[in-house]
A and B are shown apart, each in its own frame.
Chain A
Amino acid sequence: MEIRLEQVSKDFDSVRVIEDLELLVHDGEMIALLGPSGCGKTTTLFMICGIHTVTAGRVLFGDRDVTHVPPQERNVGVVFQSYALYPHLAVAENIAFPLRIRKEAKEDVEHKVRKIAATLHIDSLLTRRPGQLSGGQQQRVALARALVRDPAVLLLDEPLANLDTGLRLEMRSELRRIQQATGSTAILVTHDQAEAMSMCDRIALMNEGQIEQIATPSEIYVRPRNKFVASFIGSPPIAFCSGAVSENMFKGPGFKFELPERLQAAAIKPDSAVTLGIRPEALQPGLDIPVSGMIAFVEPQGRETLYGLQLPDGNMLRSVQAGGSRFKLGEHVRWGLDRESLLFFDPDGSGI
């Protein structure tokens, strides 16, 4: 089921938290609503399922306008952050709960519960109460309850936030597998970019009630639309340093280089201020645009090492290099930038 938000706005007590939001989720697609806390991603999710009313604009499921349809009639499956399992019901009854109201035949209900429980590997837990389950098991039960009635749309509100690290990694691929197996259209709310990147077809990055960019994970990483997107996506984060462009040359603090071809075509005004974004993998020893500085911190991470390189003007760049630490704290080094993966932003923060 295709989901479309048109010019959707939401006020809470006359404070506008969502402004003219546009979003199109294709049928069978899994999309992430990613953003810092308080950016309105859960509010958006709750407007799609109908828990929150929409102040202005339209919500469409396929061709059907559901803006004013009560949540009971939207056929949406939701996995809440807290899982919201019914504490007084056994697992089987929790899963069967959405079916009971539909007056389905007893055998059908039983059959569907067994089937979904088998898919999610929780068939051995059916007689237990939610209080007797671990976090990961509760999560699966919540997912089973959301999926059992074949929802048109599956909404996941930070489903992995309450799990410990190992289980989180496992459930990431598990969730994706189930979503693809059931072919449901899914929206995942998360503040964890790794989760969004690894699980979703596309990412809608939100900030302050607006969508900054909607793109595939690799696109949003390689071509962020603005500085906010560039700084939010990527870990360790991107570093910025300001400079000026004239005659197809970028002049930064202590280094200058010729702009890559795609920017030469963009015809930047001479002498205009430009911010350079340097991802940690774009700064490496032996690359062709030389940058000198002093190593300000060394963080060995096993497989790779994160260095902080302080430029003469005080700016701090980051570099991730494979292997153990070969450079020492305080050492003066001359590394280089990878021209093709550099990012450029104009003074108002938009990407060039």
Chain B
Amino acid sequence: MRRVIVQSALLSALAAYTAFAAGPFLWIAIMSFRTTSEISAAPYALPDTFHWWKYPEAWFNSNYETYFWNSTQVMVISVTVLSVLGAMAAHCLARYKFPGNRIVFFLIFSSIILPPQITIIGVFQLLVEYGLYNSLVGLTLVYISMQLPLTVYILEGFFARLPQDLFDAARMDGYSDFEIFWRITLPIGMPAIATTVVLNMIYIWNEFLFAVVLLSDDSKRTLPLGIQRFLGDHLEDTGMLATGLMIAVIPIIVVYVFFSEKMIQGMTAGAVK
């Protein structure tokens, strides 16, 4: 009897949380198939007819292709560099004893607590001076430097828990330091790396503040800035905004589903005993 009460309480709490988290998303998803006039007439109604045409419309009528491609480039390059560089740094900090190891780690770690707003003026000035303002290269560099501390922190924590014997064994088996990183740390650390990949992808795909400050040309804009364009100066096209948001969010959901599967696989396979 008590179990039933506990279970039902737990279930209703979960249901409430799901509604809270997924409700707005569903609402936007429904709106993405309705026109702005339909939405203003009845904001919460289900679509009478599904206006599928809104998707190609949003894509082709507002440079979405460019924004999407820009965002993809920035994200893929940033996440790749972050994963490789972050994993290397974490491997060294977790595995090698050298003077100042903990100082370096603390310096990297302490920059996590700085809110990004603090650095934005300095970053802006730097990029202007180096001719990287209004360029995707500049934005990519900023994203890498913003996310590297957290990436190193998460990976270091995971790598440090790998048994030292594995590395000694690989050394005895004749492998060099770099090969040990490549053939032991990376594959065994995959679950942790997948975690940072997902975190970084979501952050970079959705990032608005730095993008809006550091980019000015329409042809350089990333998706979050592109969506902003639907919030016109005079007229707010709510229906198209919802469609634009859905297009932007679909890739990240696909990526998340794919990687979370990997993450869970890695964790349950008992990768590290």
Contacts and interface: CB of A to CB of B under 8 A. Distances in A.
A101 B171 contact: no
Given A72-B174, A101-B174, A101-B175, A88 B271 contact: yes
Given A82-B163, A130-B273, A88 B171 contact: no
B99 interface: no
Interface SS of chain B: helix
A80 B174 contact: no
Contacts of A102: 174
A263 interface: no
Contacts of A318: none
Contacts of A329: none
A73 B173 CA distance: 9
Interface string A78-94: 10111110111000000
Interface of B: 163, 165-166, 168-176, 179, 184, 187-188, 190, 269-273
14 contacts: A71-B168, A72-B174, A73-B174, A78-B169, A80-B169, A81-B165, A84-B168, A86-B169, A88-B188, A97-B170, A101-B173, A101-B179, A130-B273, A145-B173
A86 B174 CA distance: 14
A143 interface: no
B175 A76 contact: no
A80 B179 contact: no
Contacts of A87: 188, 270-273
A294 B188 CA distance: 62
Given A71-B171, A131-B269, A84 B176 contact: no
A51 B184 contact: no
Contacts of A77: 172
A90 to B, nearest CB: 13
Contacts of A101: 173-175, 179
Contact of B172 (A71, A82, A86): A71
Contacts of A73: 174
Nearest to B179: A101
A82 to B, nearest CB: 5
Contacts of B272: 87
Contacts of B171: 51, 70-72
Q: Which 7 A/B pairs are nearest by Cβ-Cβ distance?
A: A84-B165, A98-B173, A84-B169, A80-B165, A131-B270, A88-B187, A101-B174
B174 A98 contact: yes
Nearest to A89: B187
Nearest to B168: A51
Contacts of A98: 172-174
B198 to A, nearest CB: 20
Interface in A55-84: 70-73, 76-78, 80-84
B166 A86 contact: yes
A221 B41 CA distance: 98
Contact of A76 (B163, B165, B172): B172
Nearest to B269: A131
A49 interface: yes
Counting chain A CB atoms within 10 Å of each CB, which of B163, B166, B169, B184 scores highest? B169
Nearest to B272: A87
Given A101-B174, A102-B174, A131 B169 contact: no
Given A77-B172, A101-B175, 18 more contacts: A51-B171, A70-B171, A71-B171, A72-B174, A76-B172, A78-B168, A80-B168, A81-B165, A83-B165, A84-B165, A84-B169, A86-B169, A86-B170, A86-B184, A87-B273, A98-B174, A131-B270, A131-B271
Nearest to A74: B172
Contacts of B166: 84, 86
Contacts of B176: 72
Contacts of A88: 187-188, 190, 271
A123 B138 CA distance: 56
A98 B180 CA distance: 12
A128 to B, nearest CB: 13
Contacts of A81: 165
A86 B182 CA distance: 13
Contacts of B273: 87, 130-131
Contacts of A145: 169, 173
A221 to B, nearest CB: 33
Nearest to A71: B171
A103 to B, nearest CB: 11
Counting chain A CB atoms within 10 Å of each CB, which of B165, B175, B179 scores highest? B165
B163 A84 contact: yes
Nearest to B166: A84
Contacts of B175: 72, 101
B250 to A, nearest CB: 32
Contacts of A71: 168, 171-172
B173 A49 contact: no
Contacts of B269: 129, 131
Contacts of A86: 166, 169-170, 184, 188
